[in-house]
Each structure stands twice: as structure tokens, then as C-alpha cells.
Structure 1
Amino acid sequence: MSNLWVNFLQVLGLAWWIEITTEFPHCTYYFGPFASEQEARAEKRGYIEDLEQEGAQGIIVTIKRCKPDNLTVYEEENEVNRRDSSRLLSA
């Protein structure tokens, strides 16, 4: 039942996610979905520890409701997308 509830919340965009940004590598990671903010807060330490073991630095954690399109977003991808968008707008 719990998975059905989380899936329902996710479809509606009401599920909770852990968003972790790191300065090195310059990435944004999404972990979830969770049924509640409290559940996400209870799980965040494990994800932080995993990233620290992989050498991530400058870790910032946000818990929020969202529907991420990608679970890992590399800054290089964002830069390429912004450049492509600016070319389209200036054409």
C-alpha cells in the first residue's frame, strides 16, 4: 500500500524528494520519492554519506516537493542547454 501511495503522490507532484547539490563535482542529485517530509529527512544522512565517500564536496541538502525529470543533473549539461537556448532566442 505504501508504494501505491508514494506513486500516487508522485503522479500529482506531491511526493517529497531530497535534492542534494554539490560543488565538486558540480551536480544536482535527487533521491526519492518519499511520502512525507519526515521520511525524507530520516533518509538523507545515508545519501550524504554515500556522496562524501565518493569524494563529493560542498554538499547542500534541500527537502522539497517536486517531480524531477532527471535524478542526476551535471552542470555541464545545464551549460550546454543554456547555450543552445540562447542561440535559439537570438536567431
Structure 2
Amino acid sequence: MNPLIRLLRGMANGLGVAWWARVETQEPHVIYWFGPFVRRGDLEAKLPVFLDDVNSEQPGSIEHELMQVRRGEPLTEDLEPG
């Protein structure tokens, strides 16, 4: 990845204006975070490949939303009990 793009993404994320996709699955209950992106359009262009990858794990259901937020680790949250 271009170092300038990486820097811009990091700055946007630090300011809380980066675009992220919050992808939640059931069975198993997991939240995945996909980002950061400087522009919403860039996220929308790359999201289908990410959703296909998550879908290949055959979750019971999958929902997503796009948001501007500051996000850090972890990028995967397992919400299953135990």
C-alpha cells in the first residue's frame, strides 16, 4: 500500500472521520470491522469482496453498516459465550 494512503487512513482514523464497515454475523455471533477508508466510496467498492469472504464461513446471518468512527484493535470480536 502507498505510504501516503496509509498515513491518510491513520490520520482519518485518529480523528474519528475514517469510514469503517461493521459486519455482524449470527451463528457464530461475531463482529468484524473492515477499514479504515478515507472515502466512503472506496469502502463501498471494496466491501463486496470482504463480505464474500465472511460469507464463505457460512454464518447463520450477516448484516453490515457503514460508519465514520475511530477504531482500533481488535478488528474481530467473538461474542459467543464461553
TM-score band, normalised by shorter chain: 0.7 to 0.9
Report the 3-state secondary structure (helix = DSSP H, G, I; strand = E; otherwise coil) of the residue aligned with 1:59.
strand
Computing the radius of gyration over CA atoms, which structure comes out larger, 1 or 2? 1
Percent identical pairs in the alignment equals 27
Superposed CA deviations along residues 2-23 of structure 1, whole A, max 9, x for unmatched, are: 2211111011111111110011
| 1:42 match | 45
TM-score, with structure 2 as normaliser: 0.84
Report the 3-state secondary structure (helix = DSSP H, G, I; strand = E; otherwise coil) of the residue aligned with 1:25.
coil
Q: Number of aligned residue pairs: give it.
A: 78
CA-CA distance at 1:67 after TM superposition: 2.2
- Alignment partner of 1:71 out of 69, 72, 75: 75
Report the 3-state secondary structure (helix = DSSP H, G, I; strand = E; otherwise coil) of the residue aligned with 2:60.
coil
In terms of fraction of residues, the more helix-rich structure is: 1
1:27 aligns with 2:30: yes
In terms of fraction of residues, the more strand-rich structure is: 2
Superposed CA deviations along residues 57-88 of structure 1, whole A, max 9, x for unmatched, are: 31101111112342011113xx68xxxxxxxx
Unaligned runs of 5+ in 1: 81-91
Q: Tell me if structure 1 keeps the 8 A contact 2:19–2:40.
A: yes
| Higher RCO (CA 8 Å, separation ≥ 6 residues) | 2
TM-score, with structure 1 as normaliser: 0.76
